[in-house]
């Protein structure tokens, strides 16, 4: 069951489900998320990326940044999310944002137990540069009830504050154990 605005308002107030939110960010069945002011741009390499390797990123702290056609950036949300044991969420790009050619996220699931700011994966699929401004709502969270969760998320992205690069190298380390 997807949570509607009445339950979203209650859970945000009582459970601190989403911190840093304004009332106008609550939609009938989702919550809008705004861009934060930290960005990561992956370093360009002269060789292919190998799954499991550690990647380097340039960290940019700015209220405004331009994403060029075909460019990929990681961004963070202004809001902090605290997922209880009985809720999960999908991160979705807002329709208005997609209609100008900006794709928001490609790994958008939030497990019960996650806490932190959401890292968004952004790709400019339009032929035009797009100016991104901190504070602009680009994504939304759709919450749904989750039952019988025995093991809460305690993964490698819990507690993130800024845009966080891939930690897939930690998967490889876990596989060696």
Please give the residue range of the domain that contains residue 86: 5-43+50-176
Task: Please tell me the pTM assigned to this model.
Answer: 0.89
Closest of 115, 118, 53 to residue 91, by C-alpha: 118
End-to-end CA distance of the chain: 38
CATH code for the domain in which residue 161 is found: 2.70.40.10
pLDDT score of 108: 86
Tell me, yes or no, if 150 is annotated catalytic.
no
From CA 131, how far away is CA 48, in angstroms rounded?
Answer: 29
DSSP the chain: -B--HHHHHHHHHHH--EES--GGGB-SS-EEEEEEEEEEEEPP-SSPPPTT----EEEEE-SEEEE-TT-EEEEEEEEEEE--TTEEEEEEE-HHHHTTTEEE-SS-EE-TT-EEEEEEEEEE-SSS-EEEETT-EEEEEEEEE-----S----TTTT--S-----HHHHHHHHH-
Burial class (CB in 10 A: 0-12, 13-18, 19+), 28: exposed
- Point out the catalytic residue in the list 121, 125, 150, 173: 121
Cβ atoms 75, 163 nearer than 8 A: yes
Please give the chain's pLDDT, 177 residues, in tens.
999 999 999 999 888 899 999 999 999 999 999 999 999 999 888 888 888 888 899 999 999 999 999 999 999 999 999 999 999 999 999 999 999 999 997 778 999 999 999 999 999 999 999 999 999 999 999 999 999 899 998 888 888 999 888 888 888 555 554
The count of structural domains within the chain is 1
pLDDT score of 34: 97
């Amino acid at each position: 069951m997807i949570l509607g605005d009445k339950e979203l308002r209650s859970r945000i107030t009582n459970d601190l489900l989403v911190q840093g939110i304004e009332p106008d960010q609550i939609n009938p069945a989702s919550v809008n998320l705004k861009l934060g002011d930290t960005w990561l741009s992956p370093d360009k390499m002269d060789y292919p990326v190998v799954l499991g390797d550690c990647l380097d990123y340039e960290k940019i702290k700015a209220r405004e940044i331009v994403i060029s056609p075909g460019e990929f950036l990681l961004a963070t949300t202004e809001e902090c999310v605290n997922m209880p044991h009985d809720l999960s969420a999908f991160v979705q790009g807002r329709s208005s944002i997609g209609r100008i050619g900006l794709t928001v996220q490609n790994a958008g699931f939030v497990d019960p137990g996650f806490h932190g700011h959401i890292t968004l994966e952004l790709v400019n699929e339009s032929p035009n540069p797009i100016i991104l401004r901190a504070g602009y709502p680009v994504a939304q969270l759709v919450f749904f009830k989750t039952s019988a969760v025995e093991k809460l998320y305690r993964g490698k992205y819990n507690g993130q504050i800024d845009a966080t690069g891939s930690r897939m190298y930690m998967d490889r380390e876990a596989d060696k154990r």
